[in-house]
Chains A and B, each alone.
Chain A
């Protein structure tokens, strides 16, 4: 890179290239032959040492685009040729870029400057590990001078820009690709964070600070403002850096920092990112008093620009506010423990922020009349950040030094103001009040959620409770107003309750948290509101339209359901802690607010049993809300187990206070227990469910809610089942289900669920005989009908009648439901139930071979039934089932192989594909269920006594099913999952059977395994690896013992004479190494990959050597080459690894592989 221009030829050459590039740039802009133009530009960046040309273009071209492209070419070429450049060249390139960017700072084409700055940043990073500290110092000296404003504002602006590019290059998530090991990027990041980041922050701060003094006198477009804004953006960027190397570590919780919460549990819930730079930053962030300066700056901005309305959204105001919010999230070890420094710091911030949100009424009025809402929203975000880093008590006390009330009161007032505006807009989405409400609710959740879950650990200030009660009052009243107003808008989304619940769920749970902060006020309040609405309904009966009141009741039921009970999410929810905290002194049941509120609602629900009241009030939607409430409520309160009795004998390490508080929960629990009103309420719940089946024809959604949620949840608890089976109403239900046609009108899947529920309730009966008899009584008629139909002579002609199809569909669904409810106690009767229809099933499978929906139901029933039964069966029974499954498989495959269907419509064809997939999946599940017999077997004798060999059957099944499974079908995730779990299970348990597969089936199995290893789902990969391990270790052990192992299969069947290339295990060894070294995968897979790799290496030792050598030779860098060689050696020799396939060796190899990957993946994988 000598100076240019010394020879006329050379100058001519440079000029001609420049003109060519300029021409190319302008032709791209005008869309004239863009391909050729792009090729010209590409040629420049791909040419050898194009730096001189590029510099010439940068300095001389008048076309900005050409300069831009030249800068890009410098970057591409330098990154590519970096290794061959002399260190002088490298330095000169960087200096040139820096100087160029800074010298042309006042140019109008700022994008060229930006590009050159970014090139400089990338080159600095590229050489980061090679440059000495002095060399880096030289670059940074230049940048520092520029940044601090020594050369004027324009240069300062560019200087700050270069720093921004630098930081984003060094942060792994935003860095650009350089084709270098990931290790390199990580080293750069570490070095920058430890040695430079704080220094950079200092420059950015100084730059903004110096300029900000002049801002007061300049207008919003001036250069000073621009520079100040850039400086603040840079500070913000540094504060959002993901700090990793803060010396004390973030994970160690400092238990001494009083009142400052360090739990990271909450962080993911809110959008607020915590800034935890560590103690080294204390001087520059905290004690420097930056926040004072920043708040003052913002105050000046406010005053200065308050005449223009749009100032709030001008860039400098926005970044100042963002920076302030970011300062609120600073936490962790940066604050010395136990001296309240974080509180003081937050109070300081709050004193500035409070002006943004107070007084809310005036502010919201201004916003409504056109002022921007961003300041208010940022204020809310700052409060959220503060709530995240403090406890509720500390949070509340922050404001007390500035105002006569606490922060929680401010929060309540603030939210009240926002909600008033929100509901005056009819709950429209995406208004500012909507957003503000969501942020404020997040704050409440952040403050209250740990209180609700952990109980006594954190206390909530009394002032907060009062504020919460007040706020809840406002929220509920607003929601009710919104509900009654929404009755007449034809928004079809909200017609059903469930969608509206899930849309509102997050909001409702936040409401519930707020209500629970002061239950002594909110529960009686809710009871009053509900009673008022009900009496209003009765007064207006027949006179006025009740719809508005109905909607209000729906809304109240949702809110009350959330306040009183938690969602179980599959587990039995407990009575919320706040119930016991708030009512610890109330022991008389008829005064307990929770009991009073529950009773009011249950009494109201019972009114739906009266036909007259039902038709006038209980619309399907209101019934949905009632059923929803009953299921949520009864899971928590109804007939709960009397654990309280046992717990309370004083042996618990509880204080007196705790005992007392448990007494209060006990009051509620006992009231709804079997000794009191529990049974009556249960009876009412069952009767109300029956009503939804009989009195609401065609209301699928409502009936589904009653089947799947309410009844299903009831029978999950054994203590409830005991009472259920004794109820007259329950007997009515099971009678109706068994004998009456009416319940055939329910949706088929509801019938399935109902059958399951009824059979499950048998567990409440005293002995096994009674339980089995109960199941027979419920299911007997149905099996008889199926047997009768299937044995009729005219089965073919009647089978196609829609009514026959309907009955058979319903019955199969019911049988499937019953089979799903198998329990040891009822196993016998359910086995008999299935056994009696086996023949019928084969007949129906034949008859309905073209009716795919019936075929699917038949398969599905068999799968569920076999799955539930197989482990209990005796040898003869197993033989029967296995024989039956065999016939089923043969029949199915004879119907489906070679079949072509025609359809005019592509959507019908797609449906047909989906149906086929579902069928196959069912068959795979059936095979897996059969396999299970070999693992878990509760029968008294071994199945071998009957000469049944499960593995043979399953492999036979696999022979039948595999031709139907194409790689295309494996794209269905569930099918794929089932297929591979079956495959890995079979290969693990019966590897010897693989050798007996025919060539076609074997190669199909291998192809699918290969497909599975590259699957995205790590569980599928894991299963494939397990299968591979099993196969390879089997092969190794067999061949070591002098046997054939997989024999001819071990070489690729399609090319049996090929060399090592074509050996099955060689192919997998290659694939697996490639996968481990170069691809991205979850670290969880390393263990199972090691288990598969180890036997593979042993099987194919010579190939492994060859692959290892190949890898080493491909490494150009001598250091890496050495590291790789040593690592490869260690992989197979460290930890006294021997070539025995036993547990110890597998463990050793796992360790070796992990170390190996840690060592080499850093440089083998590139970015």
Chain B
């Protein structure tokens, strides 16, 4: 049993950590997992055994949350896996620059200018069109393990 690895009371400074260990058996579908050093969303968990009277192992199928690639892993279910720390922050969209970067308004009132437009065509079109129409758009930025990307959009424009 790996009691000590379980943080029932979270520490305030733990936000700095990129990943956390968690017992493989407790990871569920729709949760996150690190496979081959990439943050993934779990789309499939199945279990099997090492021989008839052996111990259980988990078979994970994950999808890389940034590039959509499929990755797989097999872990004995009593062992630990790394679970990535995934954050999502909403920013208001201020501007879209010519070279494909966006300018976002942070909570503190500053701007964040280091993000590119998404490559997904429908989202890209919605952002561009919405922006051109003068709507108030909020984009959702997902980040994990040192990478970040625009992953969603919401129109909070005139009601």
A contacts, CB < 8 Å to B = 486-487, 490, 492, 494-496, 547, 550-551, 619-622, 694, 697-701, 741-742, 744-748, 785, 789, 794, 797-798, 800-804, 806-807, 850, 852-853, 898-905, 907-908, 911, 915
Nearest B residue to A800, CB-CB: B87
For B86, what are the chain A residues with a Cβ–Cβ distance below 8 Å?
A: 800
For A802, what are the chain B residues with a Cβ–Cβ distance below 8 Å?
A: 19-20, 22, 32, 83-85
Knowing A802-B85, A905-B63 touch, does A797 contact B15 (C-beta < 8 A)? yes
For A850, what are the chain B residues with a Cβ–Cβ distance below 8 Å?
A: 88, 140, 152
How many angstroms between the C-alpha atoms of A915 and B52 in the bound complex?
A: 35
Instruction: Report B3 CB to chain A, min CB distance, Å.
Output: 5
Instruction: Report B38 CB to chain A, min CB distance, Å.
Output: 13
Nearest B residue to A798, CB-CB: B10
Stretch with Cβ within 8 A of A (4 or more), from B42-50, B95-103, B108-116: B42-50
Instruction: Report A426 CB to chain B, min CB distance, Å.
Output: 15
For B2, what are the chain A residues with a Cβ–Cβ distance below 8 Å?
A: 745
How many angstroms between the C-alpha atoms of A761 and B122 in the bound complex?
A: 54
Nearest A residue to B64, CB-CB: A904
For chain B, residues 30 to 72, give those with C-beta under 8 angstroms from any C-beta of chain A: 30-32, 41, 43, 47-49, 51-56, 58, 63-64, 66-68, 70
For A898, what are the chain B residues with a Cβ–Cβ distance below 8 Å?
A: 154-156
B43 and A494 form a contact (CB under 8 A): no
Instruction: Report A547 CB to chain B, min CB distance, Å.
Output: 5
Interface check B120, CB cutoff 8 A: yes
B12 and A798 form a contact (CB under 8 A): yes
B56 and A701 form a contact (CB under 8 A): yes
How many angstroms between the C-alpha atoms of A915 and B29 in the bound complex?
A: 12
How many angstroms between the C-alpha atoms of A1047 and B119 in the bound complex?
A: 51
For A900, what are the chain B residues with a Cβ–Cβ distance below 8 Å?
A: 123, 126, 152-154
Knowing A700-B47, A800-B85, A802-B84 touch, does A748 contact B120 (C-beta < 8 A)? no
List 24 A–B pairs whose Cβ atoms lie within 8 Å, in order of A's numbering: A494-B52, A495-B49, A547-B53, A551-B53, A697-B23, A697-B78, A698-B24, A698-B55, A698-B76, A698-B78, A794-B12, A800-B88, A801-B15, A853-B28, A898-B154, A900-B123, A900-B126, A900-B154, A901-B152, A902-B120, A904-B67, A907-B43, A908-B43, A908-B63
Instruction: Report A563 CB to chain B, min CB distance, Å.
Output: 23
- Which one of B26, B32, B66 lies within 8 Å of A747 (CB-CB)? B26
B152 and A902 form a contact (CB under 8 A): yes
Instruction: Report A574 CB to chain B, min CB distance, Å.
Output: 34
B26 and A742 form a contact (CB under 8 A): no
Given pairs A486-B52, A492-B48, A800-B15, 5 additional interface contacts (CB within 8 A): A551-B52, A701-B56, A745-B25, A748-B26, A905-B68
- Which one of B10, B25, B126 lies within 8 Å of A804 (CB-CB)? B10
Which of B15, B22, B43, B151 has the most chain A CB atoms inside 10 A of its CB?
B15
Nearest B residue to A700, CB-CB: B25
For A901, what are the chain B residues with a Cβ–Cβ distance below 8 Å?
A: 151-152
A496 and B49 form a contact (CB under 8 A): yes
For A486, what are the chain B residues with a Cβ–Cβ distance below 8 Å?
A: 52
How many angstroms between the C-alpha atoms of A327 and B128 in the bound complex?
A: 79
A700 and B77 form a contact (CB under 8 A): yes
Interface check B93, CB cutoff 8 A: no
Instruction: Report A916 CB to chain B, min CB distance, Å.
Output: 13
A748 and B47 form a contact (CB under 8 A): no
B30 and A745 form a contact (CB under 8 A): no
For A746, what are the chain B residues with a Cβ–Cβ distance below 8 Å?
A: 26
B23 and A745 form a contact (CB under 8 A): yes
A742 and B1 form a contact (CB under 8 A): yes
Interface of A is mostly: helix
For B53, what are the chain A residues with a Cβ–Cβ distance below 8 Å?
A: 487, 547, 550-551, 619-622
How many angstroms between the C-alpha atoms of A970 and B17 in the bound complex?
A: 42
Nearest A residue to B25, CB-CB: A698
How many angstroms between the C-alpha atoms of A494 and B123 in the bound complex?
A: 46
- Which one of B10, B54, B120, B156 lies within 8 Å of A801 (CB-CB)? B10
- Which one of B56, B67, B70, B122 lies within 8 Å of A698 (CB-CB)? B56
Knowing A495-B48, A798-B14 touch, does A699 contact B120 (C-beta < 8 A)? no
B140 and A806 form a contact (CB under 8 A): no
Number of chain B residues close to chain A: CB under 8 A: 63
- Which one of A550, A622, A899 lies within 8 Å of B152 (CB-CB)? A899
Nearest A residue to B130, CB-CB: A900
Which of B25, B76, B87 has the most chain A CB atoms inside 10 A of its CB?
B25
Instruction: Report B43 CB to chain A, min CB distance, Å.
Output: 6
Knowing A698-B23, A698-B55, A803-B20 touch, does A621 contact B49 (C-beta < 8 A)? yes
Nearest A residue to B5, CB-CB: A803
B6 and A741 form a contact (CB under 8 A): yes
Nearest B residue to A618, CB-CB: B53
For A785, what are the chain B residues with a Cβ–Cβ distance below 8 Å?
A: 8
Knowing A698-B76, A804-B10 touch, does A911 contact B43 (C-beta < 8 A)? yes
How many angstroms between the C-alpha atoms of A785 and B28 in the bound complex?
A: 22
For A800, what are the chain B residues with a Cβ–Cβ distance below 8 Å?
A: 15, 85-88
For A899, what are the chain B residues with a Cβ–Cβ distance below 8 Å?
A: 152-154
- Which one of A496, A621, A741 lies within 8 Å of B3 (CB-CB)? A741
For A852, what are the chain B residues with a Cβ–Cβ distance below 8 Å?
A: 30
Knowing A621-B49, A902-B151 touch, does A853 contact B25 (C-beta < 8 A)? no
For A911, what are the chain B residues with a Cβ–Cβ distance below 8 Å?
A: 30, 43
For A700, what are the chain B residues with a Cβ–Cβ distance below 8 Å?
A: 25, 47, 56, 77
How many angstroms between the C-alpha atoms of A798 and B83 in the bound complex?
A: 15
Knowing A698-B76, A748-B28, A802-B83 touch, does A620 contact B49 (C-beta < 8 A)? yes
For B118, what are the chain A residues with a Cβ–Cβ distance below 8 Å?
A: 902
For A904, what are the chain B residues with a Cβ–Cβ distance below 8 Å?
A: 63-64, 66-68, 120
B52 and A621 form a contact (CB under 8 A): yes
Knowing A801-B14, A801-B15 touch, does A487 contact B63 (C-beta < 8 A)? no
For A915, what are the chain B residues with a Cβ–Cβ distance below 8 Å?
A: 30
B25 and A697 form a contact (CB under 8 A): yes
Instruction: Report B24 CB to chain A, min CB distance, Å.
Output: 6
For A490, what are the chain B residues with a Cβ–Cβ distance below 8 Å?
A: 51
B22 and A495 form a contact (CB under 8 A): no
A747 and B25 form a contact (CB under 8 A): yes
- Which one of B14, B28, B52, B67 lies within 8 Å of A803 (CB-CB)? B14
Which of A622, A744, A802 has the most chain B CB atoms inside 10 A of its CB?
A802
Instruction: Report A410 CB to chain B, min CB distance, Å.
Output: 37
For A741, what are the chain B residues with a Cβ–Cβ distance below 8 Å?
A: 3, 6, 8
For A794, what are the chain B residues with a Cβ–Cβ distance below 8 Å?
A: 12, 15
For B55, what are the chain A residues with a Cβ–Cβ distance below 8 Å?
A: 620, 698-699
A902 and B123 form a contact (CB under 8 A): yes
For A789, what are the chain B residues with a Cβ–Cβ distance below 8 Å?
A: 10
Nearest A residue to B77, CB-CB: A698
Instruction: Report A811 CB to chain B, min CB distance, Å.
Output: 10
B30 and A853 form a contact (CB under 8 A): yes
Interface check B104, CB cutoff 8 A: no
How many angstroms between the C-alpha atoms of A905 and B7 in the bound complex?
A: 32
How many angstroms between the C-alpha atoms of A901 and B63 in the bound complex?
A: 16
- Which one of A745, A798, A902 lies within 8 Å of B150 (CB-CB)? A902
How many angstroms between the C-alpha atoms of A745 and B79 in the bound complex?
A: 11
How many angstroms between the C-alpha atoms of A804 and B85 in the bound complex?
A: 10
For B68, what are the chain A residues with a Cβ–Cβ distance below 8 Å?
A: 903-905, 908
Nearest A residue to B123, CB-CB: A902
For chain B, residues 101 to 159, give those with C-beta under 8 angstroms from any C-beta of chain A: 118, 120, 122-123, 126, 140, 150-156
How many angstroms between the C-alpha atoms of A797 and B13 in the bound complex?
A: 10
How many angstroms between the C-alpha atoms of A746 and B26 in the bound complex?
A: 7
A699 and B77 form a contact (CB under 8 A): yes
For B150, what are the chain A residues with a Cβ–Cβ distance below 8 Å?
A: 902
Knowing A798-B12, A801-B10 touch, does A495 contact B52 (C-beta < 8 A)? yes
How many angstroms between the C-alpha atoms of A1122 and B41 in the bound complex?
A: 68
For B67, what are the chain A residues with a Cβ–Cβ distance below 8 Å?
A: 904
Instruction: Report B124 CB to chain A, min CB distance, Å.
Output: 9
B26 and A699 form a contact (CB under 8 A): no
How many angstroms between the C-alpha atoms of A807 and B22 in the bound complex?
A: 11
Instruction: Report B58 CB to chain A, min CB distance, Å.
Output: 8
For B22, what are the chain A residues with a Cβ–Cβ distance below 8 Å?
A: 802-803, 806
